[in-house]
Structure 1
Protein backbone atom coordinates (compact mmCIF):
# COMPACT_ATOMS: atom_id res chain seq x y z
CA UNK A 1 0.00 0.00 0.00
CA UNK A 2 1.47 3.32 -1.08
CA UNK A 3 1.11 6.18 1.36
CA UNK A 4 1.28 9.76 0.09
CA UNK A 5 1.92 12.86 2.19
CA UNK A 6 0.88 16.44 1.42
CA UNK A 7 2.07 19.73 2.88
CA UNK A 8 0.86 23.33 2.73
CA UNK A 9 4.34 24.59 3.52
CA UNK A 10 3.16 25.77 6.93
CA UNK A 11 6.12 26.15 9.29
CA UNK A 12 4.09 24.24 11.91
CA UNK A 13 4.23 21.08 9.79
CA UNK A 14 8.02 21.10 9.86
CA UNK A 15 8.39 22.32 13.46
CA UNK A 16 5.89 19.86 14.93
CA UNK A 17 6.48 16.98 12.50
CA UNK A 18 3.25 16.23 10.65
CA UNK A 19 1.71 16.27 7.19
CA UNK A 20 -1.28 18.40 6.24
CA UNK A 21 -2.77 15.25 4.74
CA UNK A 22 -1.97 11.58 4.38
CA UNK A 23 -3.54 9.36 1.72
CA UNK A 24 -3.67 5.65 2.52
CA UNK A 25 -5.83 2.82 1.19
CA UNK A 26 -8.33 5.15 -0.51
CA UNK A 27 -8.72 7.43 2.49
CA UNK A 28 -7.55 11.03 2.87
CA UNK A 29 -6.82 12.14 6.42
CA UNK A 30 -6.44 15.92 6.74
CA UNK A 31 -4.77 17.19 9.90
CA UNK A 32 -6.37 19.78 12.10
CA UNK A 33 -6.28 23.00 10.09
CA UNK A 34 -6.61 26.49 11.54
CA UNK A 35 -7.52 29.79 9.93
CA UNK A 36 -4.07 30.98 8.89
CA UNK A 37 -3.47 32.31 5.43
CA UNK A 38 -0.44 30.08 4.89
CA UNK A 39 0.91 32.26 2.08
CA UNK A 40 1.33 35.21 4.46
CA UNK A 41 1.12 33.40 7.82
CA UNK A 42 -1.49 35.90 8.97
CA UNK A 43 -4.54 35.07 11.05
CA UNK A 44 -7.82 36.97 10.75
CA UNK A 45 -9.37 38.11 14.01
CA UNK A 46 -12.87 36.64 13.58
CA UNK A 47 -13.98 33.03 13.76
CA UNK A 48 -16.03 33.25 10.54
CA UNK A 49 -13.05 34.37 8.44
CA UNK A 50 -10.83 31.81 10.17
CA UNK A 51 -13.38 29.11 9.32
CA UNK A 52 -13.37 30.17 5.66
CA UNK A 53 -9.57 30.17 5.54
CA UNK A 54 -9.35 26.76 7.19
CA UNK A 55 -11.90 25.24 4.82
CA UNK A 56 -10.11 26.77 1.82
CA UNK A 57 -6.86 25.17 2.98
CA UNK A 58 -8.63 21.84 3.51
CA UNK A 59 -10.27 22.08 0.06
CA UNK A 60 -6.94 22.80 -1.66
CA UNK A 61 -5.31 19.91 0.17
CA UNK A 62 -8.11 17.52 -0.78
CA UNK A 63 -7.80 18.65 -4.40
CA UNK A 64 -4.07 17.83 -4.37
CA UNK A 65 -4.95 14.40 -3.00
CA UNK A 66 -7.53 13.74 -5.73
CA UNK A 67 -10.88 14.59 -4.18
CA UNK A 68 -12.89 17.51 -2.80
CA UNK A 69 -15.01 18.69 0.11
CA UNK A 70 -17.82 16.68 -1.51
CA UNK A 71 -15.94 13.49 -0.59
CA UNK A 72 -15.60 14.27 3.14
CA UNK A 73 -17.20 11.60 5.32
CA UNK A 74 -16.14 12.90 8.76
CA UNK A 75 -15.36 16.37 10.11
CA UNK A 76 -14.29 17.47 13.56
CA UNK A 77 -14.46 21.10 14.63
CA UNK A 78 -12.55 22.32 17.68
CA UNK A 79 -13.35 25.77 19.06
CA UNK A 80 -12.06 27.33 22.28
CA UNK A 81 -15.23 29.38 22.77
CA UNK A 82 -18.36 27.33 22.07
CA UNK A 83 -20.45 30.52 22.09
CA UNK A 84 -18.77 31.53 18.80
CA UNK A 85 -19.56 28.23 17.06
CA UNK A 86 -22.94 29.33 15.58
CA UNK A 87 -21.10 32.04 13.56
CA UNK A 88 -19.48 29.18 11.61
CA UNK A 89 -22.67 27.35 10.66
CA UNK A 90 -23.45 29.19 7.40
CA UNK A 91 -19.88 28.59 6.21
CA UNK A 92 -19.76 24.91 7.17
CA UNK A 93 -23.26 24.34 5.77
CA UNK A 94 -22.19 25.74 2.39
CA UNK A 95 -18.86 23.88 2.36
CA UNK A 96 -20.48 20.53 3.09
CA UNK A 97 -23.81 20.98 1.28
CA UNK A 98 -23.15 17.91 -0.88
CA UNK A 99 -21.11 15.68 1.46
CA UNK A 100 -23.11 16.20 4.65
CA UNK A 101 -20.41 14.39 6.65
CA UNK A 102 -20.72 12.97 10.13
CA UNK A 103 -19.59 15.82 12.38
CA UNK A 104 -18.44 16.59 15.90
CA UNK A 105 -17.77 19.94 17.57
CA UNK A 106 -15.57 20.03 20.64
CA UNK A 107 -14.57 22.95 22.79
CA UNK A 108 -10.89 22.95 23.76
CA UNK A 109 -7.92 25.28 23.97
CA UNK A 110 -5.93 25.46 20.72
CA UNK A 111 -2.18 25.86 20.21
CA UNK A 112 -2.20 29.68 20.03
CA UNK A 113 -4.64 32.10 21.64
CA UNK A 114 -5.37 33.76 18.27
CA UNK A 115 -6.76 30.47 16.89
CA UNK A 116 -10.54 30.37 17.09
CA UNK A 117 -11.22 27.13 15.20
CA UNK A 118 -9.43 24.01 14.03
CA UNK A 119 -10.98 21.69 11.44
CA UNK A 120 -9.97 18.08 10.78
CA UNK A 121 -11.51 15.94 8.03
CA UNK A 122 -11.47 12.42 6.64
CA UNK A 123 -12.45 11.92 3.02
CA UNK A 124 -12.80 8.91 0.71
CA UNK A 125 -11.17 9.09 -2.71
CA UNK A 126 -13.70 8.68 -5.53
CA UNK A 127 -13.67 5.39 -7.46
Structure 2
Protein backbone atom coordinates (compact mmCIF):
# COMPACT_ATOMS: atom_id res chain seq x y z
CA UNK A 1 0.00 0.00 0.00
CA UNK A 2 1.39 3.38 -1.02
CA UNK A 3 2.08 5.94 1.65
CA UNK A 4 1.59 8.71 -0.91
CA UNK A 5 -1.84 10.28 -1.44
CA UNK A 6 -2.73 13.22 -3.68
CA UNK A 7 -5.28 15.84 -2.68
CA UNK A 8 -6.96 18.03 -5.29
CA UNK A 9 -8.80 21.31 -4.95
CA UNK A 10 -10.80 20.38 -8.04
CA UNK A 11 -9.11 23.03 -10.16
CA UNK A 12 -8.63 21.90 -13.77
CA UNK A 13 -5.29 23.77 -13.71
CA UNK A 14 -3.86 21.04 -11.47
CA UNK A 15 -4.09 18.48 -14.28
CA UNK A 16 -2.81 20.94 -16.90
CA UNK A 17 0.19 22.00 -14.80
CA UNK A 18 0.77 18.56 -13.29
CA UNK A 19 0.53 19.27 -9.56
CA UNK A 20 -1.69 18.56 -6.56
CA UNK A 21 -3.11 20.96 -3.96
CA UNK A 22 -1.41 18.75 -1.39
CA UNK A 23 0.55 15.53 -1.17
CA UNK A 24 0.43 13.26 1.85
CA UNK A 25 3.47 11.05 2.29
CA UNK A 26 3.30 9.08 5.51
CA UNK A 27 2.89 11.63 8.30
CA UNK A 28 4.11 14.53 6.15
CA UNK A 29 1.71 16.83 4.33
CA UNK A 30 3.04 19.17 1.64
CA UNK A 31 0.59 21.90 0.58
CA UNK A 32 1.36 23.65 -2.69
CA UNK A 33 1.60 27.41 -2.92
CA UNK A 34 -1.94 28.59 -2.25
CA UNK A 35 -3.44 31.91 -3.25
CA UNK A 36 -6.45 33.66 -1.75
CA UNK A 37 -8.88 32.52 -4.42
CA UNK A 38 -12.33 32.18 -2.87
CA UNK A 39 -13.75 28.93 -4.30
CA UNK A 40 -17.22 29.56 -2.86
CA UNK A 41 -17.62 32.99 -4.48
CA UNK A 42 -15.41 31.97 -7.45
CA UNK A 43 -13.37 35.16 -7.27
CA UNK A 44 -10.23 36.69 -5.81
CA UNK A 45 -10.73 39.07 -2.89
CA UNK A 46 -9.28 42.51 -3.63
CA UNK A 47 -7.25 43.36 -0.53
CA UNK A 48 -4.14 41.57 0.70
CA UNK A 49 -5.71 41.06 4.13
CA UNK A 50 -8.76 39.27 2.70
CA UNK A 51 -6.54 37.25 0.37
CA UNK A 52 -4.34 36.19 3.30
CA UNK A 53 -7.32 34.91 5.31
CA UNK A 54 -8.59 33.11 2.18
CA UNK A 55 -5.15 31.47 1.73
CA UNK A 56 -5.34 30.13 5.26
CA UNK A 57 -8.91 28.84 4.73
CA UNK A 58 -7.84 27.04 1.54
CA UNK A 59 -4.77 25.58 3.25
CA UNK A 60 -6.80 24.51 6.30
CA UNK A 61 -9.26 22.72 3.98
CA UNK A 62 -6.43 20.82 2.24
CA UNK A 63 -4.85 19.94 5.59
CA UNK A 64 -8.18 18.70 6.96
CA UNK A 65 -8.61 16.44 3.94
CA UNK A 66 -5.13 15.09 4.73
CA UNK A 67 -6.09 14.40 8.34
CA UNK A 68 -4.07 17.35 9.58
CA UNK A 69 -4.53 20.96 10.65
CA UNK A 70 -2.81 24.34 10.83
CA UNK A 71 -1.62 23.27 14.29
CA UNK A 72 0.56 20.62 12.62
CA UNK A 73 2.42 23.06 10.33
CA UNK A 74 6.19 22.91 10.76
CA UNK A 75 7.29 25.07 7.78
CA UNK A 76 5.65 28.00 5.98
CA UNK A 77 6.72 30.10 3.02
CA UNK A 78 4.97 33.38 2.35
CA UNK A 79 5.26 35.17 -0.97
CA UNK A 80 3.95 38.73 -1.19
CA UNK A 81 4.07 40.91 -4.29
CA UNK A 82 4.85 44.19 -2.52
CA UNK A 83 7.07 44.76 0.52
CA UNK A 84 4.49 47.33 1.68
CA UNK A 85 2.09 44.44 2.42
CA UNK A 86 4.34 43.07 5.17
CA UNK A 87 2.98 45.26 7.96
CA UNK A 88 -0.59 44.30 7.02
CA UNK A 89 -0.01 40.54 6.86
CA UNK A 90 2.35 39.94 9.81
CA UNK A 91 -0.44 40.24 12.42
CA UNK A 92 -2.62 37.91 10.32
CA UNK A 93 0.17 35.31 10.25
CA UNK A 94 0.30 35.60 14.03
CA UNK A 95 -3.43 35.00 14.29
CA UNK A 96 -2.96 31.56 12.75
CA UNK A 97 0.53 30.63 13.96
CA UNK A 98 1.17 32.47 17.25
CA UNK A 99 1.12 29.20 19.21
CA UNK A 100 2.44 26.86 16.49
CA UNK A 101 5.40 29.03 15.47
CA UNK A 102 6.58 27.09 12.40
CA UNK A 103 9.87 27.84 10.66
CA UNK A 104 9.02 30.64 8.21
CA UNK A 105 10.31 32.51 5.18
CA UNK A 106 8.89 35.67 3.62
CA UNK A 107 9.71 36.36 -0.04
CA UNK A 108 8.78 39.41 -2.11
CA UNK A 109 8.23 38.37 -5.74
CA UNK A 110 5.78 38.50 -8.62
CA UNK A 111 2.95 35.97 -8.83
CA UNK A 112 1.16 34.39 -11.80
CA UNK A 113 -1.67 36.94 -12.09
CA UNK A 114 -1.62 40.65 -11.23
CA UNK A 115 -4.63 40.35 -8.87
CA UNK A 116 -2.72 37.85 -6.71
CA UNK A 117 -1.08 39.65 -3.80
CA UNK A 118 0.00 36.69 -1.62
CA UNK A 119 0.71 32.99 -1.90
CA UNK A 120 1.38 30.66 1.03
CA UNK A 121 2.98 27.20 1.02
CA UNK A 122 3.12 24.94 4.08
CA UNK A 123 4.55 21.64 5.23
CA UNK A 124 2.84 19.86 8.10
CA UNK A 125 3.62 16.76 10.14
CA UNK A 126 0.44 14.95 11.08
CA UNK A 127 -0.05 14.31 14.78
CA UNK A 128 -0.32 10.73 15.92
Q: Normalised by the shorter chain, which TM-score bucket?
A: over 0.9
Alignment-derived partner of residue 12 in structure 1? 13
1:35 aligns with 2:28: no
Alignment-derived partner of residue 21 in structure 1? 22
Secondary structure, in 3 states, of the residue corresponding to 2:20?
Answer: coil
Query: What is the alpha-carbon distance in structure 2 between the residues aligned to residue 77 and residue 54 of structure 1?
Result: 10
Query: What is the alpha-carbon distance in structure 2 between the residues aligned to residue 85 and residue 12 of structure 1?
Result: 29
TM-score w.r.t. length of structure 2:
0.94
Alignment-derived partner of residue 79 in structure 1? 80
Count of residues in correspondence between the two structures: 127
Give unmatched runs, 5+ long, in structure 2: none
Give unmatched runs, 5+ long, in structure 1: none
Alignment-derived partner of residue 54 in structure 1? 55
Deviations 1:41-96 (CA, angstroms, capped at 9, x unpaired): 30011000000000000011111101110100000000110111211112110111
Query: What is the alpha-carbon distance in structure 2 between the residues aligned to residue 103 and residue 77 of structure 1?
Result: 8
> CA contact under 8 A between 1:9 and 1:38: conserved in structure 2?
no
Query: What is the alpha-carbon distance in structure 2 between the residues aligned to residue 12 and residue 97 of structure 1?
Result: 33
Deviations 1:8-33 (CA, angstroms, capped at 9, x unpaired): 11233233221000001310000000
User: How big is the shift at 1:104?
Assistant: 0.3
Distance 1:125 1:5, change over 3 A: same
The list of structure 1 runs, each at least 4 consecutive aligned residues, that deviate by more than 2 angstroms after superposition, is: none
Instruction: Out of 8-17 and 57-66, give the one that drifted further.
Output: 8-17
Instruction: Out of 37-46 and 22-31, give the one that drifted further.
Output: 37-46
TM-score w.r.t. length of structure 1:
0.94
Task: Report 1:100-115 matches (<5 A).
Answer: 100-115=101-116
